[in-house]
Chains A and B, each alone.
Chain A
Amino acid sequence: MTEMTASAAPFRRPDLSEAHLRRRYSAERRFKAYGIFAIAAATAMLLVLLSSIVAKGYTAFSQTYIALDIALDADRIDPSGDQDPQVLRKVKYQPLAKAALRDRFPEVSGRRDKRALSKLISGSADVTLRKFVMANPDTIGTTQTIWVKASDEIDSLRKGHVDRGAQESDRLVSDQALEWFDHLETDGAVDLRFNTTFFTAGDSREPEQAGIWGATVGSFLMLIVTLALSFPVGVLSAVYLEEFAPKNRWTDFIEVNINNLAAVPSIVFGLLGLAVFLNFFGLPRSAPLAGGMVLALMTLPTIIIAARAALKAVPPSIREAALGVGASKLQTVTHHVLPLAMPGVLTGTILGSARALGETAPLLMIGMVAFIVDIPGGFTDPATALPVQIYLWADSPERAFVEKTSAAIIVLLGFLIMMNAIAVLLRKRFERRW
């Protein structure tokens, strides 16, 4: 053997000359520089993305309010005087707010101008007043100062999204409305407050009344279904394949298919969900149950692959020791291997469900990309999901939805970062290196 190599290749001396060494060092420096450049480029892109979203979206967390002295006319609200909540609930309160606004600007006349004036406040003044009157029925007949929401245009104006210097035709807010707004502001009747509606309401066509709570609940219900299905099925299949299954052509075939399934575009799962869950099993459209089942199919391969990797990482000595002291195969797995692999399994599950949380394409086919105002109360109620809400708002003509879209993205990113942080934490705390 030694003779052969010696004869085939003559002994080569390493070139230790100064010039060659320098070349090798500079090659290494260049390589490092490329790496740093790549990281810097990626970080810069991420920063641009995040800062543009935050810069556009942070204003959505506050909302402009206007104070109005509203005459709670007893004849109009409660003619019988018995403060019956059934009667109080049915009253139309919006005209009261409009009347208060007209009293504030008595010089405004003409139908067109009055209409323009009433557009300063949001259509949700109705709800605000109803709540106030029902909570304080004794105020009926008096005049109260009540803060109502400003309309989306006035809200944009207050937040500085409207260019005051522009021509009137180039501006969303007319000169007239600008003047009214300035009057209100100098009187201290305009205030920017925290936007609770954004976190408590469902979708709305009016930007100032729209919230993400409905979509968040929908996403949450869907994730419960997804996890309840994909976690047990995924872990059980991983345990069987890794610990019990014989290594033959069939298990190879299954393994290849699971890996393939992980790479299938998510819209395909949506089509499958439409054909099987909706059309064959007759599950309701737009329901988190169907959505969760589709997403469970999608996350299943991810969980199986991660769980198998985690099981594989448990050293054979553990199994052998357990078997050696007389544990059965099942006891070995449930008492030793699975608990040791759990941090890895959970990490995979969390990452899989984080992907499910950000998915819209499969939901399109099963009717979850829809305008839904009511907050879903159960697994079969119509619901949307957070990314769907972002998509719907991004497509709305009203300008004020731009900031809502970015704010919803911030919330969704917050959830994703939280889930990934939990995954990292689990790995850091519980994973054992052998």
Chain B
Amino acid sequence: MIKHSLVVAALAGLALSATAASARDQIRIVGSSTVFPFSTAVAEQFGKTSDFKTPVVESTGSGGGMKLFCSGIGVEHPDITNASRRIKASEFEKCGKAGITITEVKIGFDGIVLANSKANEQLSLTKQQIFKALAKKVPVDGKLVDNPYKMWSEIDPSLPSKKIEVLGPPPTSGTRDAFVELAMEGGAKTFESLADLRKSDKKAFKAVAHGIREDGAYVEAGENDNLIIQKLQANPNALGIFGFSFLDQNADKIQGSKVEGVEPTFENIADGQYGVSRSLYFYVKKEHVGVVPGIAEFVAEFTDEGTWSEDGYLVDKGLIPLPDADRKAMGASANGMAPLSM
């Protein structure tokens, strides 16, 4: 008898949940793990200071978030997706086919840093040196060969004579995408032969520029940046690749390497001097505004000066804000829910 009633209860629960799924009074956010710390901070603040429920934020990665976001309109689909890169044309098309109108909000920048333990000297690298150290194939005497460099000093005599050992994110990560695009491609372009290739065959160029060596010099250390920092402390000779907010929080243990002579500091990333930085975004589903309560208010909270400006609380979380003029324009278009067109 007891078992019977348990089964009945379970079935009743199922039936109940089916009705519960048809209404939602809570914003759902998915997307990039890089934007996650900022999005969650705003969500928490929003839940505390407004009469709405605290939004639920999932960290699915930029690509995964877009997939969920563009799958349709309706309460079972998320309202907002975060991205550590701009929406791709293919994703925009997919969203359009599902009848979704998107509002794009650029929230600020994130620097990608190469850092090592403070127990060792600070490195100063150029993009070309980064490319030489990490690419799968490098041009030597005009010909593409498998990366022969084992020591930093083989790349440039000014660099220490230590083994090349870099811990970084796996290919699924947005940080890796951005790093490859900004640092590696930037380095590849400096070779004449590769620059020519870029003009004649873009695909072939990308294959070379985006190919990271697999002979053990580059170690895929997983998506957990804290883990990379721990490994850097244990191994002072290794270099790690991760987001600026982690450098900021661990400034007592690790130091960022200069890239093209520029140190990765808040100011240098904010004014664009530091070359390896990317923009962060979130995208709002316009069709859900007014259906799921609180979306417009959430966007207003996110774009409030007390949130995303230099004096805002997101700066404490490691966000590098947009310049004043851009921020004003972006805030206006976000709160007006301007539809994105590509």
A interface list, Cβ under 8 A from B: 115, 123, 126-127, 163, 166, 169-172, 204-206, 225, 228-229, 231-232, 235-236, 278, 281-287, 289, 367, 369-374, 379-380, 382, 394-399
Contact = CB atoms under 8 A, between A and B. Distances in A.
Interface string B248-274: 111111000000000000000000000
Given A170-B118, A379-B13, A397 B44 contact: no
Which residue, A115, A235, A369, A397, has most C-beta atoms of chain B within 10 A?
A397
Contact of B58 (A206, A286, A396): A286
A115 B313 CA distance: 11
Nearest to A204: B44
Given A371-B57, A374-B47, 7 more contacts: A170-B252, A287-B17, A367-B58, A370-B56, A380-B20, A397-B37, A399-B250
B145 interface: no
B21 A369 contact: no
B54 interface: yes
Given A172-B252, A289-B17, A369-B58, A229 B76 contact: no
30 contacts: A127-B48, A166-B252, A169-B251, A170-B253, A172-B252, A204-B44, A205-B44, A228-B9, A229-B10, A232-B3, A235-B3, A281-B14, A281-B18, A284-B24, A289-B17, A369-B59, A370-B57, A370-B58, A371-B39, A371-B40, A371-B43, A371-B56, A371-B57, A371-B59, A372-B56, A380-B16, A394-B224, A395-B226, A397-B317, A399-B250
Interface string B82-96: 000000000000000
B6 interface: yes
Contacts of B224: 394-395
A374 B54 contact: yes
Q: Is the interface of B mostly helix, strand, loop or mixed?
A: helix
B26 interface: yes
Contacts of A283: 14, 17-18, 21
A123 B48 CA distance: 11
B137 interface: no
Contacts of A225: 10, 13
A284 B20 contact: yes
B124 to A, nearest CB: 18
B6 A228 contact: yes
Contact of B21 (A170, A232, A284): A284
Interface string B43-62: 11001100001101111000
Nearest to A367: B58
A395 B245 CA distance: 12
Contacts of B221: none
B7 interface: yes
B17 A232 contact: no
B28 interface: yes
A205 B9 contact: no
Contact of B245 (A123, A232, A397): A397
Given A235-B3, A382-B56, A397-B318, A282 B76 contact: yes
A199 B175 CA distance: 34
A232 B2 CA distance: 9
B219 interface: no
A372 B54 contact: yes
* 4 shortest interchain CB distances as A-B pairs: A373-B54, A371-B57, A232-B3, A371-B40
Which residue, A127, A236, A282, has most C-beta atoms of chain B within 10 A?
A282
A397 B3 contact: no
A374 B39 CA distance: 16
A232 B6 contact: yes
Contact of B226 (A126, A278, A374, A394): A394
B125 to A, nearest CB: 21
B37 A396 contact: yes
Contacts of B13: 225, 289, 379
Contacts of B245: 397
B40 A232 contact: no
A370 to B, nearest CB: 4
